[in-house]
Amino acid sequence: EPEVTQTPSHQVTQMGQEVILRCVPISNHLYFYWYRQILGQKVEFLVSFYNNEISEKSEIFDDQFSVERPDGSNFTLKIRSTKLEDSAMYFCASRQGQHGELFFGEGSRLTVL
């Protein structure tokens, strides 16, 4: 069964460092998303991506965040200068159409020290 894959599963970084989280969405999907979940809290939307551009972003997705789909398969989230409060689980998700089932990856746990 096709699945969304994310790497790394866990990353520990120092405050102020750049981090890149990688995702490979399901191959025939067209809509891509990044979410984050701080431990014990709800899933929070960061950004959606369609047709090689950002379609929507939340207030959380400020200038320190960026997304890219460099090669037609990978979908990356970059955090330029990490802060302590960026520590969270980051989930990539994709779906075929504008509606319907969202397929999530297993997440990348980011710990900022």
Interacting residues with other proteins (CB under 8 A): 4, 31, 41-45, 48, 55-56, 89, 91, 93, 98-107, 109
Contact 95, 102 (CB under 8 A): yes
- Whole-angstrom distance, CA of residue 65 vs CA of residue 50: 17
In the complex with other proteins, the residue whose CB is nearer, 81 or 98, is: 98
In the complex with other proteins, the residue whose CB is nearer, 14 or 42, is: 42
Give Cα 64 to chain centroid, integer Å: 13
Contact 22, 74 (CB under 8 A): yes
In angstroms, how far is the first alpha carbon of the chain from the final one? 37
In the complex with other proteins, the residue whose CB is nearer, 72 or 100, is: 100
Shortest reach from residue 98's CB to other proteins, in Å: 4
Shortest reach from residue 67's CB to other proteins, in Å: 15
